[in-house]
Structure 1
Amino acid sequence: MESIVSVDTRQGGLSVCVGKHHRIEKGRPKVHYHDSDDSKFMNDLRAQAPEMIGAFFDFDKAVFSKKVGNLDPATRELIAVAVAVTTQCPYCIETHVRKAKTEGAGGSDIAEAVMIAAALRAGGAVTHGWLAMKALQDD
């Protein structure tokens, strides 16, 4: 759930900014993201960049192939879940959780991958905090 950044009820309307991409004006959404049928726009993307989309899917297929690499499919999918949580892609989260489950991962495996991702994301914030402390020394 996105947090409300600002609410403006002046001039008889309602304007709400939710995150950086959501706006509700006069009680109605102006743009809404992450709808269940958004994948229909893949055809538009494929039509505008067919070679690049083809290369992307070939790469994705190779990365998750059971015929290459040393990691078992469940581990690959758990890594994908952790990365998807970190990059905050709802489509990737849903897809890779389902695939991880199909490959034998359970709820505790998914939760562990999520918490590993959370720890790394938090760790990155702490280590970037070092840069803030360093900046204090630069003056």
Structure 2
Amino acid sequence: MSSIPSFKDTVTAVSGQMRVMRETQPELMATFSQLAAAGTKDGALTRKTRELIALGIAIAGRCDDCIGFHVQTLVKLGITRAELDDVLGTAVYMGGGPSMMYAAHALKAFQEFSATEA
């Protein structure tokens, strides 16, 4: 069995727990949602570019949940395999071996979410 998680399952499970947190911590979750919206909106950089950066940080930070959410969003925004490969390469450059392992996770997430969108 693969040690790489199912990213569809991961995103679904975390989303469910975040819904619970919206009930128990409404102010925190509303503020986080505002932060996410502000951090990914079009500006000098496009939303897609900002999501690509976020994915690189998620890989370097070794956060599978973050990888799942950002790849899912990037697939919806029309990421190409070439764009993904560039982000993976940059993340590995900045994070070394551990980022290489999580770059493989991001590639699996891309394959899962791209199959959904096709």
Which amino acid in 1 is paired with 2:58? A
1:81 aligns with 2:83: no
Describe the superposition over 1:64-97 as per-residue Cα deviations: whole angstroms up to 9, x where unpaired.
123xx20012211111111111222223212222
Alignment-derived partner of residue 17 in structure 1:
none
**How many correspondences in the alignment?**
90
Alignment-derived partner of residue 99 in structure 1:
73
| Rg larger in structure | 1
Which amino acid in 1 is paired with 2:51? E
1:35 and 1:77 map into 2 onto residues whose CA distance is: 16
Cα RMSD (Å) of the superposition?
2.4
Which amino acid in 2 is paired with 1:98? Q
TM-aligned CA deviation for residue 35 of structure 1: 7.7
Gaps of 5+ in 1: 3-33, 124-139
1:111 and 1:42 map into 2 onto residues whose CA distance is: 30
1:71 aligns with 2:45: yes
Give TM-score, length-normalised by structure 1.
0.54
Relative to total residues, which structure has the larger strand share, 1 or 2? 1
Gaps of 5+ in 2: 5-9, 98-118
Instruction: Tell me if structure 2 keeps the 8 A contact 1:81–1:110.
Output: no
Alignment-derived partner of residue 108 in structure 1:
82
2:14 and 2:69 map into 1 onto residues whose CA distance is: 14
Alignment-derived partner of residue 56 in structure 1:
32
1:43 and 1:102 map into 2 onto residues whose CA distance is: 21
Structure 1 residue ranges, 4+ long, deviating more than 6 angstroms after superposition? none
Relative to total residues, which structure has the larger helix share, 1 or 2? 2
Residue identity (%):
27
Change (3 A) 1:71 1:119: same
Give TM-score, length-normalised by structure 2.
0.62
Q: Aligned ranges for residues 1-139 of structure 1 at < 5 Å? A: 1=3, 34=10, 36-66=12-42, 69-122=43-96
1:117 and 1:91 map into 2 onto residues whose CA distance is: 16
